[in-house]
């Protein structure tokens, strides 16, 4: 199954347990939610009583998981590009030294 097809499962009405399908994404979304809820009052923000507990099947959790998935994917691509740049710079330097 392609990435584009499987990520659709995070949307409302998606099929499957996001906790099992996307463990890293789920873990980050859950941590984000917990830290957010714990610290919101210190910033003068009152969170919605209905969404204070993390429900991995809720639309709120699915949206957070999707956002986390997108961030993880983009950051992974950035790291890979940085690695390629370092390798290219190394090869260029090595060629100049020969």
Among 33-42, 55-64, 81-90, which is the least confidently predicted range?
Answer: 81-90
| Per-residue pLDDT, 44 | 95
Q: Inform me whether the pLDDT recorded for 4 exceeds 50.
A: no
Question: Using alpha carbons only, what angle is made at residue 74 by residues 21 and 51, rounded to the nearest 5 degrees?
Answer: 55
Q: Is residue 9 pLDDT above 70, yes or no? A: no
- Over range 47-72, report the average pLDDT: 85
Q: How far apart are CA 44 and CA 24, in angstroms?
A: 30
Q: What is the Cα–Cα distance from 50 to 61, expressed in whole angstroms?
A: 12
Residue 13, pLDDT score: 58
69 in any annotated domain:
yes
In a domain, 14, yes or no: no
Range of the domain at 88: 19-97
Would you say the pTM of this structure is higher than 0.75?
no
Q: Which helix (H) or strand (E) holds 65?
A: helix 59-97
Q: Which residue has the tokens 């994404």?
A: 25
Q: 71-91 pLDDT, tens per residue?
A: 888 888 776 777 777 777 777
Tell me the Cα Rg of the chain: 19
| C-alpha to C-alpha distance for 86 and 61, rounded to whole angstroms | 37
State how far the Cα of 33 lies from the Cα of 52, in Å rounded to an integer: 8
Domain membership flag for residue 13 = no
- Count how many domains the chain has: 1
């Amino acid at each position: 199954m392609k990435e584009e097809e499987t990520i659709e499962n995070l949307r409302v009405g998606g099929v499957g347990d996001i906790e099992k399908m996307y463990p890293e994404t789920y873990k980050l979304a859950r941590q984000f939610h917990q830290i957010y809820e714990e610290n919101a009052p210190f910033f003068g923000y009152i969170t919605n009583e209905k969404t204070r507990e993390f429900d991995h099947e809720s639309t709120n959790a699915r949206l957070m998981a999707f956002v986390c998935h997108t961030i993880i994917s983009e950051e992974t691509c950035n790291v890979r590009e940085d690695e390629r740049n370092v390798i290219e710079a190394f090869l260029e330097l090595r060629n100049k030294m020969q």
